[in-house]
């Protein structure tokens, strides 16, 4: 029998969220942006997070009881459990949203799909070839769908940039230039697993490398260099936290991505995440987290769209250090709508694996000190 929560939200899919640190952001976003609660507020502006019309928070799960208690405080009435199996048994959970440490994603995706649930998995989707091959097989066997929680694609300046690209305003792209730069001492302190069980090519570079595959498609060859910052060494972290990655796509276009997770601080002129698209009709720049978008065309005029004041409510929850509320709500709603209406979702499993293959090839290239063909990773995924 369906849990009574489902009947309170007719026409919407219940989301069960596992990992209630970053996952708490989604829980709050879903709890605070349901249409009923917002029916009296102003309509969404162009580029703003869509209201959650297709999803509701059915339950939360964290193996740490303290995180469950906190979740019940911020979203009163939402049931929580410390057992992932219990979450999977809930009939009102149609979609499981995974926000646990990177190295656990593959296993939890498989368990959720085998329990008949569709899956949202935060970035990075997976961090090993074996897991990538495994989730591909499990998705085929179960027919369950997957959405990669690639938040940057759903941040308004990046969505606007994509729309301009799809309308042809930038013309054919010659060069894609991306970066994600963020001082991460607070992350090592909060999440010690980041020192041991992941590499920043996955944890941080998943954002700029995903942007490269979004525009360039499947990468052909990657040439990467890496090193470790003093900050990373001071935490005893195992892997590199500075990466410079050059990519060649099958059609000859090129892209580059830069990541630095041990810097002192960014000057305010540079944003943590940026994507520059250089096309033969125009150039554009999307920024996180200033919420700025700039575009120039053949006339030479620059258009600037700044949404920070309009968007700070839904995107940052009006918190000084708030992050990702609007993006998480937007991709969850997008996925739930796609499932309900039988339409495609993006980024889906194939797109997530494209980004994974690029990340893994970049990691290998930096270690070997030579270029790596991304096909090498695809072949291993197929064989695993």
Site track for ligand NAD across 57-96, x = CB under 6 A: ----xxxx--x----------------x------------
* Closest CB to ligand NAD among residues 12, 123: 123
Q: Which of 338, 384, 327, 331 lies closest to 357 in space, CA to CA? A: 384
Q: Which is nearer to ligand NAD, 283 or 345 (CB)?
A: 345
Quick one: 96 or 372, whose CB is closer to ligand NAD?
Answer: 96
Residues 238-267 that bind ligand NAD (CB under 6 A): none
Residue 72: CB minimum distance to ligand NAD, A: 14
According to CB under 6 A, which one of 33, 122, 287, 295 is a site residue for ligand NAD?
122
In the complex, minimum distance from the CB of residue 62 to ligand NAD, in angstroms, rounded to a whole number: 4
In the numeric block, which tokens belong to residue 333? Answer: 């709603």
| The one among 38, 101, 258, 340 contacting ligand NAD by CB under 6 A | 101
| Position among 111, 145, 324, 334 found at the interface with ligand NAD (CB under 6 A) | 324
Residue 99 Cβ vs ligand NAD, minimum distance, rounded to whole Å? 5
Tokens matching residue 239: 């892997």
Closer Cβ to ligand NAD, 295 or 332, answer by number = 332
Give the nearest distance from C-beta 247 to ligand NAD in angstroms.
21
Residue 356: name the closest of 200, 125, 180, 146 by CA. 125
Interface residue with ligand NAD among 104, 178, 232, 337 (CB under 6 A) is 104
Tokens of 115: 């329990």
Distance CA 292, CA 221 (A): 31
Q: Could you say which of 31, 50, 80, 100 contacts ligand NAD (CB under 6 A)?
A: 100
Binding residues for ligand NAD, rule CB under 6 A, total 24
149-208 residues near ligand NAD, rule: CB under 6 A: 149, 151, 190-191, 203
CB of 21 to ligand NAD, least distance (A): 3
CB under 6 A: which stretch of 45-53, 97-105, 163-171, 358-366 binds ligand NAD?
97-105
> Which of residues 107 and 306 has its CB atom nearest to ligand NAD in the complex?
107
102/110 with CB nearer ligand NAD: 102
- Binding residues for ligand NAD restricted to 19-48, rule: CB under 6 A: 19-22
* Least CB distance to ligand NAD at residue 40 (A): 30
Q: List the structure tokens of 197.
A: 């069980």
Asked if 102 interacts with ligand NAD (CB under 6 A), we say: yes
By CB under 6 A, name the binding residues for ligand NAD.
Answer: 18-22, 61-64, 67, 84, 99-102, 104, 122-123, 149, 151, 190-191, 203, 324
């Amino acid at each position: 029998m369906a849990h009574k929560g489902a009947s309170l939200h007719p026409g919407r899919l219940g989301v069960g969220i596992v990992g209630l640190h970053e996952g708490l952001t989604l829980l709050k976003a879903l709890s605070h942006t349901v249409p009923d609660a917002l029916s009296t507020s102003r309509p969404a502006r162009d580029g703003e997070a869509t209201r959650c019309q297709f999803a509701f928070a059915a339950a939360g799960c964290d193996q740490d009881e303290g995180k469950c208690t906190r979740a019940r405080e911020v979203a009163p009435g939402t049931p929580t459990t410390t057992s992932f199996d219990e979450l999977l048994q809930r009939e009102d959970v149609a979609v499981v949203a995974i926000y646990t440490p990177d190295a656990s994603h593959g296993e939890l995706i498989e368990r959720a799909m085998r329990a008949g649930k569709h899956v949202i998995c935060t970035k990075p989707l997976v961090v090993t070839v074996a897991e990538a091959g495994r989730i591909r097989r499990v998705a085929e066997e179960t027919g369950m769908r997957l959405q990669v929680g690639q938040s940057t694609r759903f941040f308004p300046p990046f969505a606007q940039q994509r729309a301009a690209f799809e309308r042809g305003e930038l013309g054919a792209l010659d060069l894609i230039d991306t970066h994600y730069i963020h001082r991460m001492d607070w992350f090592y302190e909060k999440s010690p697993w980041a020192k041991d069980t992941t590499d920043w090519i996955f944890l941080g570079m998943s954002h700029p490398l995903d942007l490269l595959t979004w525009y360039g498609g499947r990468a052909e060859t990657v040439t990467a260099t890496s090193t470790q910052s003093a900050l990373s060494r001071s935490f005893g972290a195992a892997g590199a936290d500075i990466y410079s990655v050059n990519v060649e796509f099958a059609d000859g276009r090129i892209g580059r991505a830069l990541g630095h997770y041990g810097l002192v601080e960014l000057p305010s002129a540079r944003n943590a995440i940026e994507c520059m698209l250089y096309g033969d009709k125009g150039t554009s720049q999307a920024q996180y987290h200033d919420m700025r978008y700039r575009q120039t065309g053949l006339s030479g005029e620059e258009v600037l769209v700044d949404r920070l004041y309009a968007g700070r409510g839904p995107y940052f929850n009006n918190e000084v250090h708030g992050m990702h509320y609007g993006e998480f709500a937007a991709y969850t709603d997008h996925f739930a709508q796609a499932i309900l209406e039988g339409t495609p979702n993006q980024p889906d499993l194939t797109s997530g694996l494209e980004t994974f293959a690029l990340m893994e090839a970049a990691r290998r290239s930096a270690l070997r000190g030579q270029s790596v063909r991304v096909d090498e990773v695809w072949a291993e995924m197929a064989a695993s």
